[in-house]
Structure 1
Amino acid sequence: MTQDIKLKNKVAVVTGGSKGIGKALVTALVEQGAKVVIGDILVNEGEELVKALNSKQPDNVAVFVRTDVTSWDDNKKLFATAEKEFGGVDIACLNAGISEHPQTLFGPLEGESMTLKINLDGVIKGNRVAILHLAKRGGGVIVNTASAAGFVGTSIIPHYTASKHGVVGWTRSMQPMIDVANVRVNAVCPYWVETDILASIDVPGVGFIDVAPKVPMETVMDAYMTAILDESQHCQTIIALPDGVRVEPAFNIWASCVTQEMVEAKMVDYKEEVEAWKSDLKEARMRANI
């Protein structure tokens, strides 16, 4: 790591934390002093990781909870466990993701895309539960795992690409949360990384992936730590590229769509929006007993 990172006494929740990028993130957070609750459907891998991390510390620093991120109950249980075991949540990393076989584009015309359910709906559910717990803590940060595929069309994995575009859009729509609950929301967007998702893209005509540049895991972790620690970053998309980390600015709306009158009205509307969100947040926390 290139940063002076201090996460002592911080508590993080990481979904999809049993292997791949999630496992590297869990390890990095613990190395920097955080306590971590891992949520994943990969029970054996998750429990082994927790065992390995705790064996190196005088006190337990990691807990595993079997979590299906598409389930509201599982998301609520995950964050409640973090509060029960470690006293609260400061950091929420919604990282769980998959990529379905590209031929699902022409599969049977029924059912749902699990890629969209996990990568997008699972992230949104995790965000909504996380905000309630972070607000109780007085604020914190959410980091959503998106992808470089969230910015470009990738025909070989269209469901995955659509899901990551959705995560980018959701993240950039969370601007009020900093004023409503002192919660920052960012997305980390890696290019190709050597993970199981990359290995799963196994169809004719995509051999270029084998020779494409890859992002070192250390660079991916630098992107996450930028999202977590740099308090100037909010609603940002932080890309991990083969040559380093960069922040990708949001698209500026077309000039013909904006007037000074509109800008002034939006400033007034935003204040009212924040107050409405605060009221909604209070009611939501009461309903959830958080």
Structure 2
Amino acid sequence: MTLQSPSTDLTSFEGKVAVVTGGSRGIGKAVCDELIRRGAKVVIGAISDKGREVAKQYNKEAGKKVAVFLRTDVSRYDDNKALFQLAENEFGGVDIAILNAATCDNADNLFSPLDDKLEERIFNVNAVGLIKSSKVAILHMAKRGGGSIVCTSSAAGFYSVPALIAYVATKHAVIGYVKSCTFLPEVCNVRVNAVCPSFADTTFMDNVKTIDGAPEPFYDFVDTVPTVPMSVIIDGVFKYLCDNTANGKTVMAYPTGIEVIEAPEWHYSLLTDDSLKAQDIYLKKAIPHSKQQLSRALERYEKEQKERPI
């Protein structure tokens, strides 16, 4: 069941404003590099203060302010709201959100300590944090007239990887979330898509190569698998930024290039005459209903922002 329409035109990035979570290193930093190269302004949110130096370097090279940084924990709504409000204050609004922040802490959690905080962190950042970031992004983009969100998931969002069981669960969650956003262009002119790299040549998972001081055998296998070039991941991100018909889609980034992964159709046994008629009725009601919800959400958000201490 899909609802789609064209969204905002991002074939030109000159003057566009992008918020990038996890933008201080790895994939996020590479996306920022490309956005800056194409003329966009970037607002970097990251848990590491390294993002401050990244933004400073962009501004130095451009000879003007084209980037700003804010230390951001995406698992907190207050941090997300501050990040997107910074984009609005500094550059006038938000056109693009690259939701890339993630962690692999406790990625192999099956036999890890029964510790609530340890258990919850990877889910709070990779899944819940991404959803929180997207909800705030959608509100800012709706005010702007539309926009494009690209989420960084992973090949682990489709494949099983026993050595990364919790990480895999979070990335499956991202895929499910993105595929469920197909109605948004009709509601607020916002598109949501995902890029899913296979093993990338970054340091992201270096800290999980040992568990309790012992090497994780999985990485003996990983060391034999070709890595996906960063240029392919960037191709995947910009495919969805530039294609204003793509929504609720996922693209896999392999060493050989990018491949779109289509969602399965509803099983024929579910599509009875009654259910098809009910679906048609639902589709006619869904957009007006969601627009009403959006209107209330925007009013609530604007009120909260006005009441927020400066």
Deviations 1:110-143 (A, max 9, x none): 3033111100000000111010000001001111
**Offset of residue 5 of structure 1:** 5.5
1:59 maps to 2:64: yes
Where does 1:149-164 land on structure 2 (aligned, <5 Å)? 149-164=156-171
1:100 maps to 2:105: yes
Native 8 Å contact 1:68 1:75 kept in 2: yes
Quick one: percent identity of the two aligned structures? Answer: 43
Native 8 Å contact 2:108 2:166 kept in 1: no
2:6 aligns with: none
1:118 aligns with: 125
Match of 1:68 among 70, 73, 87: 73
Which amino acid in 2 is paired with 1:40? A
2:247 aligns with: 234
Distance between the aligned counterparts of 1:267 and 1:30, measured in 2?
44
Native 8 Å contact 2:20 2:42 kept in 1: yes
Match of 2:202 among 175, 195, 199: 195
**Offset of residue 271 of structure 1:** 2.3
Which amino acid in 1 is paired with 2:58? L
Deviations 1:3-43 (A, max 9, x none): x9520011000000000100001111110110000000101
1:175 maps to 2:187: no
Structure 2 stretches lacking a partner, 5+ long:
1-9, 210-214, 306-310
Match of 2:30 among 16, 24, 29: 24
1:138 maps to 2:145: yes
Match of 2:12 among 6, 14, 24: 6
Distance between the aligned counterparts of 2:280 and 2:96, measured in 1?
29
SS in 2 for 1:196: coil
Structure 1 stretches lacking a partner, 5+ long:
none
Number of residue pairs matched by the alignment: 286
Q: Which structure is richer in relative contact order (CA contacts within 8 A, separation 6 or more)?
A: 2
**Offset of residue 102 of structure 1:** 4.4
Distance between the aligned counterparts of 1:204 and 1:188, measured in 2?
27
Match of 1:253 among 254, 266, 276: 266
Deviations 1:57-109 (A, max 9, x none): 13211000110000000000000000000000000111000112445321232
SS in 2 for 1:245: strand
Distance between the aligned counterparts of 1:118 and 1:267, measured in 2?
37
Native 8 Å contact 2:30 2:234 kept in 1: yes
**Offset of residue 245 of structure 1:** 0.8
2:21 aligns with: 15
SS in 2 for 1:235: coil
**Offset of residue 52 of structure 1:** 1.0
Distance between the aligned counterparts of 1:249 and 1:286, measured in 2?
36
Q: CA RMSD in A?
A: 1.4
2:291 aligns with: 278
Question: Relative to 1, partners in 2 of residues 1:102 and 1:225: Cα closer, same or farther, differing over 3 Å?
Answer: closer
Distance between the aligned counterparts of 1:226 and 1:157, measured in 2?
28
Distance between the aligned counterparts of 1:102 and 1:22, measured in 2?
20
Which amino acid in 1 is paired with 2:234? M
Distance between the aligned counterparts of 1:228 and 1:275, measured in 2?
26
Distance between the aligned counterparts of 1:157 and 1:241, measured in 2?
19
Moved over 6 A (4+): none
1:79 aligns with: 84
Match of 1:88 among 76, 88, 93: 93
SS in 1 for 2:194: strand
Which amino acid in 1 is paired with 2:270? C
TM-score (norm 2): 0.89
